[in-house]
Structure 1
Amino acid sequence: MNNTSPLPTEALQRVTDRLVLLNHTQLPRWLDDAARTAQQAADALGVRLGQIAKSIVFRREADDVAVLVVTSGDLRVDETKVRAIACAGGGKLGRADADFVKARTGFSIGGVAPLAHATPVVTLIDAQLFRFDEIWAAAGHPHAVFCLSPHQLQTLTGAPVHDVTVA
């Protein structure tokens, strides 16, 4: 693992610029191998699976808005809980395909960062991330991650914290 990308991408640069703008001192790190899954990221970083802040994107059907859930890598998202929060008053929450994710967030699946999205998204942070002092999130590319605390994640994104995982 090293601190610089051999091939900077627009998405990685967008995340880096946002982190600098928000005065976050932990800038993205480039991993030698791609970390498209939470397990791959945990293995590459030598951390617990739960410390990986994985990004799961849904499609709110009423207005075609992306709903991003940031949760611990060792847990599954409960779609019923997410729907109750993101579709208050009813409505459907659908799965987001790769094209939808790329169009709404500006990131490809496997590198969806919790911030610096291409369009406004609804972001929810899972309360279970607060089990850890240090977590790692994707930085816009499957080879790029950055370190932060759950509290910093909430501050950087302005997102609310909810219980959105399967019990």
Structure 2
Amino acid sequence: MSLQSVRQFFADKAPDIVILEAETSTATVELAARAHGVAPGQIAKTLSLRVGEEVVLVVVRGDARLDNGKLKRAFGAKVRMLDAERVMALTGHPVGGVCPFGLATALPVYCDESLKAYEEVWPAAGDIHTAVRITPQRMADLVSARWVDVAKLPEPEAAVAQPGA
């Protein structure tokens, strides 16, 4: 059902976008990056969050973490992750395949500014073996997302001093 709702979403709103199906699981950022041959940051992970009584989806780049201070400033309240059962019930997608497309329930979607570092990102497509290749702006436009700054990017790896250098 989940993959089918995403297929229907793209058939209706963006028939030029192709759902890519991998032979291996793409349920984690690392698995998805390996399966699609892209950097982990290009994987657009969709997180399901409770803000007070409201549930929202936040799409961030795969190598970023949510920043609690930024979340509180952006949403005005403490934010909590939903459990897998609630995610499935509200989105219609299993954890590892959650995306902002073809949702079972209309939910507000936010895209983190960190996604703009890439020309293309690879969000899941409703299943743990699927993704789509899309520009961050087009993804935001298709799901009427608002842009927010709620992510903490990974620290650049410190240069390792070479002995004798």
Q: TM-score, with normalisation over the residues of structure 1?
A: 0.85
Amino acid at match of 1:109: V
Structure 2 distance, partners of 1:48, 1:92, is 31
Q: Is the 8 A contact 1:57 1:101 kept in 2?
A: yes
Structure 1 distance, partners of 2:14, 2:56, is 25
Amino acid at match of 1:27: V
Q: Which consecutive aligned stretches of 4+ in structure 1 deviate over 3 angstroms post-superposition? A: none
Q: How does 1:102-121 map to 2 (within 5 A)?
A: 102-121=88-107
Aligned to 2:141: 155
- Shift of residue 24, structure 1, vs aligned partner: 4.4
2:124 to 138, 147, 152: 138
Q: Is the 8 A contact 2:74 2:149 kept in 1?
A: no
Structure 2 distance, partners of 1:79, 1:115, is 25
Aligned to 2:83: 97
Amino acid at match of 1:153: M
Structure 2 distance, partners of 1:16, 1:32, is 18
Structure 2 distance, partners of 1:71, 1:127, is 8
Amino acid at match of 2:63: D
Asked if residue 166 in structure 1 is aligned to residue 152 in structure 2, the reply is yes
- Shift of residue 80, structure 1, vs aligned partner: 3.0
Q: Indicate the structure (1 or 2) with the bigger Cα radius of gyration.
A: 2
Q: How does 1:50-129 map to 2 (within 5 A)?
A: 50-60=41-51, 62-63=52-53, 65-86=54-75, 88=76, 91-129=77-115
RMSD (Å), alpha carbons: 1.4
Q: Is the 8 A contact 1:139 1:146 kept in 2?
A: yes
Q: TM-score, with normalisation over the residues of structure 2?
A: 0.86
Amino acid at match of 2:44: A
Unpaired runs of 5+ residues, structure 2, are: 154-165
Asked if residue 33 in structure 1 is aligned to residue 35 in structure 2, the reply is no
Amino acid at match of 1:143: H
Q: Is the 8 A contact 2:45 2:59 kept in 1?
A: yes
Aligned to 1:15: 6
Aligned to 2:159: none
Change (3 A) 1:103 1:83: farther
